[in-house]
Amino acid sequence: FLSFKCVNYADFSPRYVNEVRILCDGGYTVVLAHAERYATENVDAMRDAGAKLQLNAATFSGITTPCAIKRWLSDEDVVAIGSDIHMRDERAYKRFSRACKKLERYPYVFSESEKIWSGAKVQ
């Protein structure tokens, strides 16, 4: 299990896509963290290379969900939801709870997370 994240979300190199393809072809599960922060075309290129996606709970805080995120969910490429809770923050807990309720329509997200973590080898 590898988590792939750029230091600067705007600094996205096409070489990352090739590296992700190599890792996925080698049997690794690559998860692009904070996928909602990247340009849609970059996320789609990573998906095409075999990467799975992690989204933050705050992504689901709005009344509507952006079209790209709906597509990623319906294509079953989202495999993790992050809380972004770094310290005691009541609002963050509420966002996470709300996101989990919205994601009940996509039960595969939680089952895929469980599969990935149960098969992860920690080094």
Question: Considering the chain, what is the average pLDDT of its residues?
Answer: 83
Q: What is the pLDDT of residues 56-98, one digit of tens each?
A: 888 887 766 788 988 999 999 999 888 777 777 778 788 888 8
Predicted TM-score (pTM) of this structure: 0.79
Long-range contacts of 97-106 (CB under 8 A, 24+ apart): 98/57, 98/60, 98/61, 99/57, 99/58, 99/59, 99/60, 99/61, 100/57, 102/60, 102/65, 103/60, 106/73, 106/76, 106/78
* Res. 123: pLDDT tops 60: no
Q: What is the pLDDT of residues 31-60, one digit of tens each?
A: 998 899 888 999 999 999 999 999 988 888
